[in-house]
Amino acid sequence: MAVVLAGEVRAAVAQRRPVVALESTIIAHGLPRPRNLDVARELEEIVRAEGAVPATVAVLDGWAHIGLDQRQLERVAGEEGIRKLGHRDLAPALALGASGATTVSATAMLAARAGIRTFATGGLGGVHRGWAEVQDESADLRLLGRTRITVVCAGVKSVLDVPATLQRLETLGVGVLGFRTDSFPGFYLRSSGEPVDWTVREPREVAAAMRAQDTLGGPDSALIVANPVAAAEELDPRLHDRVLTEALAACARERITGQAVTPFLLEYLASHTDGASLAANLAAVRGNVRLAAQIAAAWSAVA
Ligand code: PSU
Ligand code: MN
């Protein structure tokens, strides 16, 4: 099998020590270069500072890597033509020797198969606005409907149709826990305005829910831990709403479709908020990575 576990990740999984999977699409396609490489390194450092092992996932030259060395991280952050790979793209990428960053769906699939239970990202993909016309729903949702992994995120990007995405998660049987919040986070904002049914306050409560999933033995669905960005670091909600409206209009005008939609909208927000959306995005991701490492530690203690 063309899947390579870094030695450190393999050892930690075998010894049931805490490991956190990190996706690479946010690095390659969600953040501006060259800042993205610093962020990739910083996220790994945050995991280590909490006593866990980082496992950034990407495909390089047809090999799926779980855990990257410095050179490999540099390739993901800087290589021209690095692709964006959802889980359906993994087989052709491996077969054809391609290189690409993995989305939530591809990262979750690879991480779960490698025995990693905790995963941190910024925001999940979801149901796009205008779904009735274009049927654009991220493959993240269905994959999480059949993969036993815990994903820490700041909700779904506000560019999406948040109520429709939450409805899909319910249909797919994916559990959603608000972390110290009773509302679903809005990625750049603390709240999307939508409620969550369950609130947890401590990493050990998340670990207990993971344990209960295994005890019940139901379908292999994911558990989403929705962790809002800190109040001091959220984007100004009025600025957010104004620029988002413009971004959606620009996306329609320029006829952006498919995989290009998410990167286009994220870039538009960053460049039209004078970097404020980027700052909020980074703050949210850092917070998610830290919490995921704490959950991984709590999970190792009970698993
Ligand atoms: N969140 C971000 N930046 C990103 C993404 C999420 O802040 O770049 C990526 C994730 O990898 C997610 C993907 O899985 O966008 C969803 O893309 P699509 O809608 O094409 O499935
Ligand atoms: Mn899509």
Percentage, residues of the chain above pLDDT 70: 100
CA atoms within 13 A on the CB side of 126: 26
Atom of ligand 1 nearest to the CA of 25: 11
This prediction's pTM: 0.96
**Mean pLDDT within 170-197:** 97
SS3 label, residue 38: helix
Cβ-contact 186, 193 below 8 angstroms = yes
Query: Mean pLDDT, to the nearest integer, of 199-228?
Result: 97
Phi, psi angle pair for 102, to nearest 5°: -100, 135
Give pLDDT, residue 263: 86
Q: Are residues 104 and 121 in contact, defined by beta-carbon separation less than 8 angstroms? A: yes
Question: Is the model's pLDDT at 49 over the cut of 70?
Answer: yes
∠38-44-47 over CA atoms, to 5°?
140
Answer whether residue 249 shows pLDDT above 90: yes
Over residues 14-34, the mean pLDDT reads 96
CA distance 204 to 291: 11
* Any ligand 1 atom below 6 A from CB of 225: no
Cβ pair 109, 60 in contact under 8 A: no
Task: Give the integer Cα–Cα distance in Å for 32 and 167.
Answer: 32
| Of 27, 102, 104, 129, best ligand 1 pocket probe by most atoms within 8 Å of the beta carbon | 104
157 lines ligand 1 (CB under 6 A): yes
Active site residue 84: no
Residue 159 pLDDT > 90, yes or no?
no
Render pLDDT for 265-294 as a digit per residue (tens, 0 to 9). 989 999 999 999 999 999 999 999 999 999
Token reading at 128 = 């796009």
- Domains in the chain, CATH or no CATH each: 1-116 (3.40.1790.10), 124-303 (3.40.1790.10)
Confirm if 211 and 303 have CB atoms less than 8 A apart: yes
Residue 23 catalytic?
yes
What residues contact residue 242 under an 8 Å CB cut-off, 6+ apart? none
Give the three-class secondary structure for 52: coil
pLDDT at 259: 84
- Angle in degrees, 0-180, between the axes of helices 237-253 and 276-302, rounded to the nearest 10: 100
Percent of the chain at pLDDT exceeding 90:
93
Counting from 1 in the atom list of ligand 1, the atom nearest the Cα of 128 is 19
Tell me if 126 CB under 6 Å of ligand 1.
no
